[in-house]
Structure 1
């Protein structure tokens, strides 16, 4: 009988180059994930008036603070800087904007302004010009901008209301900007969510406003 003899298999050690290659790819993919995360992270600056400043309440209860808190709880995907001031007009914000852009260097600016102009009866042409100059400044610095529609109490007269409220869609269309609907739209009709002045939202309204703004702005930040 002829006995067959099979060759003994020898397991060779993995080549050093293979080990180094796997390690390199692991590090590369980790760095790529970090890069993608950093590219997606956006800084939003809110430039508004008392509707965004948290009028007569602690700053941490305002909707911008609540939105930033939400983002931080989600791992800091985005950051929000609230540059809103109660009583702010478009003229005042225009004067502050260059320094704010230089200091914070945001990726996006959400402009929620014009209400105090309207309440004081400023000519709509002045409000339009100030907003247009703000948009031009952000464009020059390659900062993306979102306009917020502003509405006034219905007792200001049909002609004035029409001229004022047309500012925002016309300016957004002329500059290809997203136009966020007025976030106080139906909140203002609910007395339990409004202060006694009938203009400012209470602390109870802030989470609702946060969610409305988030639903509009978050898809833009991840484009």
Structure 2
């Protein structure tokens, strides 16, 4: 079954964007996400973005990882932040992991789609390859809404010829024993879940780095 996960703004407000830089001649990988990428509720260094950085190092793939994820962020927030991030970091790859909070707040689907499309286009115009990371919503949102929401990521990826991870929480939020992979709030994935999340992202990212 699908666990009733949601993304929320933490009590202490917006988590800071963390840059993890590994010197080298490889590309900069910019991650623009929400709490799923910002290590919300986890000890530092255990989230999937940090695990990705470690995987890059272990496979001797030169790259610099900049994690500009903020807990509670929406696609509108990401859209407003992206131009400055592109100018500052000049990434070769941009991973966009946003949209879950849009659904939580009941924002219009066409707004979410438009923001993702604008972000993807801006990153591509800046010379970066884009990896869209999709999300799904629990069944209580209604089957029609859920299908349209999950489908908008694929639609934008197809239209913009961007790479796609259909569901970041595959194997985490869609299993019969999903609760064991979530924190006590039953909202945010726990430390055990983040290697599985990286496993969903890594194959698509690796293709972009070839």
Partner of 2:135: 150
Q: Which has the larger radius of gyration?
A: 1
| 1:91 aligns to 2:91 (yes or no) | no
- Aligned pairs for 1:163-182 (under 5 A) are 163-182=148-167
Distance (Å, rounded) in 2 between the aligned partners of 1:163 and 1:75? 39
Partner of 2:200: 212
| 1:63 aligns to 2:48 (yes or no) | yes
- Aligned pairs for 1:1-223 (under 5 A) are 38=25, 41-75=26-60, 77-188=62-173, 189=175, 190-222=178-210
* Structure-2-length-normalised TM-score: 0.81
Aligned length: 184
| SS of structure 1 residue aligned to 2:79 | helix
Unaligned segments of structure 1, at least 5 residues? 1-36
| SS of structure 2 residue aligned to 1:72 | helix
Unaligned segments of structure 2, at least 5 residues? 1-23
Q: Compute the displacement of 1:131 (Å).
A: 0.9
Q: Compute the displacement of 1:215 (Å).
A: 2.4
- Computed over aligned residues only, the root mean square deviation of the Cα atoms, in angstroms, reads 1.7
Contact 1:66 1:207 in 2 (8 A): yes
Which deviates further from its counterpart, 78-87 or 191-200? 191-200
Distance (Å, rounded) in 2 between the aligned partners of 1:173 and 1:151? 18
Instruction: Give CA deviations for 1:171-217 in whole Å, capped at 9, x if unaligned.
Output: 11111111112120221132211123333110111222223322221
Structure with larger RCO (C-alpha < 8 A, sep 6+): 2
Distance (Å, rounded) in 2 between the aligned partners of 1:88 and 1:121? 14
Distance (Å, rounded) in 1 between the aligned partners of 2:141 and 2:184? 19
Distance (Å, rounded) in 2 between the aligned partners of 1:109 and 1:151? 21
Q: Compute the displacement of 1:76 (Å).
A: 5.3
Q: 1:172 to 1:74 in 2, by over 3 A?
A: closer
Partner of 1:4: none
Distance (Å, rounded) in 2 between the aligned partners of 1:82 and 1:130? 19
